[in-house]
Amino acid sequence: NVIAMSFAPRDSHEAQIQFALERGVPAVIGVLGTIKMTYPSHAFDMAHCSRCLIPWGGNGGMYLMEVDRVLRPGGYWVLSGPPINWKNSYKAWQRPKEQLQAEQENIERIAKLLCWEKKHEKGEIAIWQ
């Protein structure tokens, strides 16, 4: 009975949703913008973003606050790709390490304000609850 959401800056991550659906996991794609998503509060057990280039720490943490709103209590936010593991990957991503470091620090700061705890970080994947 897990419901997952994949965030994307546009409708281009359908393969992630198809992957989940083929395995029997109810999943939807949520496009973040400047307005609140149409999903009710506490609708999802997990939210996932893979290389989606969303400025998570931007706009005063608005995007992470929206993730927090749609996650059920005890739910998980999974981020894979930039800026996670920036120290080892910034050259391959062709982005300045200072920029990636600042992005990850902003994510960590906002996650703490939301009372999220980082449960795991390995390679380019980080999981908060």
pLDDT band at 119 (very low <50, low <70, confident <90, very high): very high
Give residue-wise pLDDT tens across range 21-60.
777 766 666 666 556 777 889 988 888 887 777 777 778 8
Q: What is the pLDDT of residue 112?
A: 96
Q: What is the pLDDT of residue 113?
A: 95
CATH classification code of 4-128: 3.40.50
Q: What is the pLDDT of residue 72?
A: 94
Give residue-wise pLDDT tens across range 56-89.
777 888 889 988 999 999 999 998 877 787 777 6
Cα of 9 vs its chain's centroid, Å:
11
b/e burial code for range 91-111 (CB count within 10 A of at least 16 → b): eebeeeeeebeebbebbeebb
DSSP 1-17: ---EEEEESSS--HHHH
Q: What is the pLDDT of residue 12?
A: 53
Q: What is the pLDDT of residue 8?
A: 52
In this structure, which amino acid lies at residue 6? S
